[in-house]
A and B are shown apart, each in its own frame.
Chain A
Amino acid sequence: MLDKLQRLLDRINAKAGDVGSVLAVLFWMVILVLALAHMLEIT
């Protein structure tokens, strides 16, 4: 079961590993914007 899941994850990683970097940047941007909005009391 775990082997099958690992193979699936390996296939996704081989095809779209770099998507992680894009998502990470977007994720960090969201956190940064939320933090700035909170600090500036925009929300």
Chain B
Amino acid sequence: MNPRKESFQRFDRLFVVQHMILFTCVLLLIVSGVPLKFPHQAWARWLIWAQGGLHARALIHHTAGHVLVLLGVFHFVWYVLVQRKPPFYRRAVMLRPEDAQHFWGHLLYVLGQRKTLPRMGRYTWYEKFDYLGLLWGIGVMGVSGLSMLYMNVVLQWIPLAWLQVFWAAHSEEAMLATLFLLVIHMYHVHFNPEKFPMSLTWLHGKLSREEMEKYHPLELEALEQQARQRAKEAALAAAPTATQAPADAAEGEPHAG
């Protein structure tokens, strides 16, 4: 097999579908939400008009928000309580001391002070940062958004001032998320010279051997070690069958004759 064509499945189909729902919802939320922050701008008024007016904009925003919250709940329940596998379980995505070393090594690499990237595992420091930021974002946006939407219910338990805090948090976190996606995520998946014009990982969940060697060498080593172990076990399992075969054949000979 051509090593360039060899690929490794890093995300299963369920994960890929969750990501598709996630970015669809986030794009809809940005398009329907950001214009509210700049109501005096012509482009914001045009964007609201293009969505069918204020009522339709609200419908789009609230529907996408509910789907995103449900997705977050499903993601948590599925990976933590049902499947009990990474990314959540066993704290695979939690930041560790070595992530600080990887961050420093990565910084030196991009500044040309180091020839190779630090040797990172299943989740790199920036992937953990990205993922945990997303979880935090869904939590903040979900709690603040739902509280504002269902204020008649929520105000029975919390003072009115909290809703003003929620409004500020919702608005600023939305800008933070939008700018993060435009400035950093767009670069990583589209503009990065290694990925331009687009990475297809969002469709098939795979990484090439080249990408694994560069960004996830420890995971690649672990996967290859597992493959060697499986091959050894398969060979051991096949061995008695091979020694058994002549005896079986000998037993079978009289019948064949």
Q: Tell me how many residues of A have a C-beta within 8 Å of chain B.
A: 19
Q: Indicate if the CB atoms of A23 and B41 lie closer than 8 Å.
A: no
Known: A21-B191, A31-B179, A31-B183. A2 touches B203 (CB 8 A): yes
Q: Interface centre among B182, B193, B195, by most A CB within 10 Å?
A: B193
Q: How many of chain B's residues have a CB under 8 angstroms from any CB in A?
A: 19
Contact A9 B191 (CB under 8 A): no
Per-residue interface assignment for chain A, residues 14 to 37, with 1 indicating a CB less than 8 Å from any chain B CB and 0 otherwise: 001111110110011001000000
The number of residue pairs between A and B whose CB atoms lie closer than 8 Å in the complex comes to: 46
Asked if B197 and A9 make an inter-chain contact with CB atoms under 8 angstroms apart, the answer reads: yes
CB contacts (< 8 Å) of A28 on chain B: these are 183
On whether A2 and B200 interact (CB within 8 A), knowing A28-B183, A43-B41, the answer reads: yes
How many angstroms between the C-alpha atoms of A38 and B230 in the bound complex? 59
Contact of A13 among B179, B186, B187, B197 (CB under 8 A): B197
Task: Judge whether B196 is part of the interface by a CB distance below 8 angstroms.
Answer: yes
The residues of B with any CB-CB pair to A shorter than 8 Å are: 38, 41, 179, 182-183, 186-187, 190-198, 200, 203-204
| 9 closest cross-chain pairs (CB), A and B | A20-B196, A24-B191, A20-B191, A17-B193, A20-B193, A24-B187, A17-B196, A18-B193, A23-B191
